[in-house]
Structure 1
Amino acid sequence: MHIPPLYKRESWQRFMAGTFVGAILAFCVFVYMYGQLYENWVEENLELHAALQELNSNYKALEENNKELDQKYQQKVTITSIKITITNQEKLDLDRLIAREFEEKIKTEMTDIIGRDVESLSENYSLLIKTIENKTYRIDDFSYQAEVKHLFITEVLSLQIELTPGT
């Protein structure tokens, strides 16, 4: 039995070349889509992990403070969480993961504030601002200096921060 020499025909050569190029293009599209899905999954995983750590640290801080408080002090309004917003994230072209890491560094530095009285913190807000502004934050071989633009002290401490590249 003899196999016909179809590989010599020009139409079959075009068909085989088209099949090969199509397979390469399909593989490239598959790799791109997989990369996008994996990146979204990693970002979501990091956000959930950061939220879990924040909740655990808030829980521990509140639990410790509640044990130490007396009845009179428990009736006052206390700080329960911290919310940080970077105002010039798009201007500096910061990646979402770097911005999240920067926010986490500031939150870990300010964990002592959770559970404190709002009145005492509002009297000493300048100390809080100086604490944030006087530190250089290093993230992925880049250093940033933070400047507090707005500070809202309620049960949720809200900070609006503007970053400047440091030296």
Structure 2
Amino acid sequence: MRIPPYYRIPSWQRFFVGCVLGGIVSWMIFLFIFGSLQEKLSMDILELKSELEEVERQKDIYFEDAKELNEKNERLLTIQTVEVKIANAKKYDLQDSYTIKQAEELLVKELNLVINKDLETIFTNKELIIKLLENKVMKINKKNYTFQVKEMYFFTSLQIVLEMKLA
């Protein structure tokens, strides 16, 4: 197969030179458009990086504030519930769970004044709570009983374990 001799005809020479010049011009236009797009995208990336750094800094500040608030709230916890448990009810033949539950509820009603009080205040006044419970005389099944505090736990709920004694 033979290549036709178009390189000798001036009209074909102009055509090939035009194709080469058109290719060069189009390549220059492509490089210009591609370069401007890359520059725009790199600026967008820089803006997003700075925005991300700002958001991360704000996030760290918020986490520090939240941590400080949590620590402050832990210091200012309040009593939400009061639970009373009579430990030695079986010793006095109080097998009736209804009677024991009723006695525990009466003692809880006595302690309702500590609900929504600051935990630190209640802890510093725990002796008053103990005296309140130990001076309480309760009549159960025609017998008078007093109570002695064995254990007392403080957190958002005040838990007290009592021991019954005949008065």
TM-score band, normalised by the shorter chain?
0.5 to 0.7
What is the TM-score with the length of structure 1 in the denominator? Answer: 0.53
In 2, Cα distance between equivalents of 1:110 and 1:138:
18
The 3-state SS of whatever aligns with 2:148 is strand
Q: What is the 5 A alignment of 1:112-151?
A: 112-151=113-152
2:87 is equivalent to residue 87 of structure 1: yes
Structure having the higher helix fraction is 2
The 3-state SS of whatever aligns with 2:90 is coil
Q: CA RMSD in A?
A: 2.0
For residue 83 of structure 1, what is the amino acid of its counterpart? E
Q: Percent identity?
A: 30
For residue 84 of structure 1, what is the amino acid of its counterpart? V
What is the TM-score with the length of structure 2 in the denominator? Answer: 0.53
The 3-state SS of whatever aligns with 1:116 is coil
Once superposed, which parts of structure 1, at least 4 consecutive aligned residues long, lie more than 6 Å away? none
In 2, Cα distance between equivalents of 1:119 and 1:147:
23
Q: Which runs of 5+ in 2 are unaligned?
A: 1-71
Q: What is the 5 A alignment of 1:1-167?
A: 76-94=76-94, 95-166=96-167
The 3-state SS of whatever aligns with 2:89 is coil
In 2, Cα distance between equivalents of 1:146 and 1:78:
26
Give CA-to-partner distance per residue, 1:27-82, whole Å, 9 cap, x none.
Answer: xxxxxxxxxxxxxxxxxxxxxxxxxxxxxxxxxxxxxxxxxxxxx99x82100001
Instruction: Kindly name which structure, 1 or 2, has the bigger radius of gyration based on alpha carbons.
Output: 2
For residue 105 of structure 2, what is the amino acid of its counterpart? E
Give CA-to-partner distance per residue, 1:103-146, whole Å, 9 cap, x none.
Answer: 01101111111111100010110011001101211233221100
